[in-house]
Structure 1
Amino acid sequence: MWTENTCFGLVLVWIICLTDQTQGQQKNLVSQGEDCTQIKTVSPDATSGVYVIQPAGVKSPFKVYCEMLADGGWTVFQQRTGPQVRFDRGWNKYKDGFGDLQNDHWLGLRHVFVLTKKRSTLRVDLWDFDGGTSFAEYSDFRLGTESEAYRLNVGAYRGNAGDALRGEYAGIDQNGFGFSTSDKDNDGCSPCIFGDIAFNQCALEMSGGWWFSRCGSANLNGDWHSAGNNIGWSSDLRWRTWKGPAPYSAKASRMMIKSV
């Protein structure tokens, strides 16, 4: 005879088994290199895909997607191609990561932090709805510690998408600011005034987690918009130095790291 206690016990056993299985899978991961750059250097014929890495000083290996290009192996930490994965998440999700590594995902701030302990280059790829693409690269990319809200640090810019992280106009440089989410505000607004509109939290107004500075001119983690609904105030995947004059929401974006 089934009772409430019997059902509870079965559910508890299922949870314990699932937890043990997940922990076992994590323990069985075998590192293939410190990062995607090292993997590509050791194995020049390596192709793009999911790999297991273990950066120096990290106790447990973890999976990443490596984009293996002619100039080396890049560790992808953000990818957007559509609305299938919701990026309007809280601090813990952005810290630990979410999504599908082979599709749309955010790798996790704690993983990006350890990857950028090495001298690294950041690459941002953008795609529009007309088949065009552009990129922005930054030298000396690194993040601060969690107590520093994973503060953004980038060096020299090169590319053809424009330097949106430093801003389309003075006063909105996002370099040097901590990461903000709807439940953890680290932006420069108290409030920010845009015309007759006052914003206290960029993450609430712009959606998604990002390194906001007076909201800034870059945010690739906002809401995704389809063609025809992506111009103007609904430009939530924005890189304001790229398209214009009206704000433009990208069709797709990708952010990657290569160690130097």
Structure 2
Amino acid sequence: MWNRIFFCGLVVCLICLTDQTQEQKTPLVVQGTDCTQIKTLSPRATSGVYVIQPAGVTSPFMVYCEMLADGGWTVFQRRTGAEVLFNRKWAVYKQGFGNLRKDHWLGLSKVFALTNGGRGRSSTMRVNLWDFEGGTAFAEYSDFRLGTEKESYKLNIGAYRGSAGDAIRGKYTGIDQNGFGFSTTDKDNDGCSPCIFGDIAEDECSFSEGGGGWWYSRCGSASLNGDWHPAGEHIGWASGLHWETWKGRVPYSARASRMMIKSV
């Protein structure tokens, strides 16, 4: 009896391991420079994992493509729960982590490659948000790109449009995240030395955000890589999935978020 249970459990574990590593064993046959090109060449392409090779990149890599009516979008961040921890250090944020079909961060080096390869082309970045009450919102930015690693993958965005508000530029002056480098707990680029919030002095924004990496500027009002909080525990936390121009004054942690790029 126990031998049979052990054997069945072992089989289940092996199946799980096979499923987790299957993406990594998929032959890297390049299907396009990005999801936008794949959708353009194959209008009936459906959402899923594809292999891309942006211009100027020597090694292809896998991404999740969200194929929508307005084109193919390359997803570089997805949060839907607490299964994947986002309190990671610089090297991991550079490389990427998580499951492409589920919650993940694609990697700063890959996002850089996607936004800096082609001449005469620019990228649009879209943030999708979901709350716990059944509502959704989005923020979209033109001319999105990242700086080099030496520039700490500095954030560059153009004009905003959307329904969530421009949280990257902030609810008030002095916290614009545009033009700031990416920060993690082991690589601080947030401009706080310290930042004073009432009677609180903040030296490193990433720590207050549960270790989540982001383009902090005096902490700012956008941060989607903090701790994920479940329903009933999503209001009032300093850490969370924050887009403060979308909700009220009390910190509200979103139920889910998605960040993606489309070349134009």
TM-score, normalisation: structure 1: 0.89
Q: What's the counterpart of residue 111 of structure 2?
A: 112
In the alignment, which residue of structure 1 is the partner of 2:172?
169
SS of alignment partner, residue 116 of structure 1: helix
User: Is the Cα contact below 8 Å between 2:208 and 2:239 reproduced in 1?
Assistant: no
Matched residues in 1 for 2:105 and 2:154: separation?
Answer: 17
Letter in 2 for 1:97: G
Question: Post-superposition shift, 1:30?
Answer: 1.0
Distance (whole Å) between structure 1 residues aligned to residue 249 and residue 82 of structure 2: 25
SS class of match (2:94): helix
Q: Does the aligned pair in 1 maintain the 2:208–2:238 contact within 8 Å?
A: no
1:130: which partner in 2? Answer: 133
> Partner letter of residue 42 of structure 2?
S
- Structure 1: segments with no counterpart, 5+ residues: 1-20
Q: Distance in 2 between matches of 1:65 and 1:54?
A: 13
- The structural deviation recorded for 1:233 is 2.8
* Counterpart code for 2:180: F
Q: Offset at 1:77?
A: 0.1
Q: How many residues align?
A: 238
CA RMSD in angstroms comes to: 1.5
Is residue 2:66 matched to residue 1:63? no
Unpaired stretches in structure 2, ≥5 consecutive residues: 1-20
Q: How does 1:142-157 map to 2 (within 5 A)?
A: 142-157=145-160
How much does 1:247 deviate?
1.4
Q: Give the Cα separation in 1 of the matches to 2:208 and 2:80.
A: 22
Segments ≥4 residues shifted beyond 3 Å: none
The residue number in structure 1 matching 2:206 is 203
For residues 116-172 of structure 1, what are the alpha-carbon distances to aligned partners after superposition, in whole Å with 9 as ceiling and x for unaligned?
114100000000001110000000000000000000000000000000000011100
**Partner AA of 2:196 in structure 1:** I
1:62-121 Cα deviation digits (max 9, x unpaired) = 000000000000000000000000000000000000000000000000000010114100
**Other structure's SS at 2:37 match:** helix
Tell me how far 1:245 sits from its aligned partner.
2.8
CA distance in 1, matches of 2:239, 2:189: 22
- CA drift of 1:234 comes to 4.2
- What is the deviation of 1:46? 0.2
Structure-2 separation of matches of 1:225 and 1:234: 11
Is the Cα–Cα contact under 8 Å of residues 218 and 238 in structure 1 kept in the other structure? yes
Equivalence for 2:38: 39
CA shift, 1:228, in A, is 1.3
Preserved contact between residue 235 and residue 248 of structure 1 (Cα < 8 Å)? no
Corresponding residue number in structure 1 for 2:249: 245
TM-score (norm 2): 0.88
SS at 2:64 equivalent = strand
| Residue 187 of structure 2 is aligned to residue 184 of structure 1 | yes
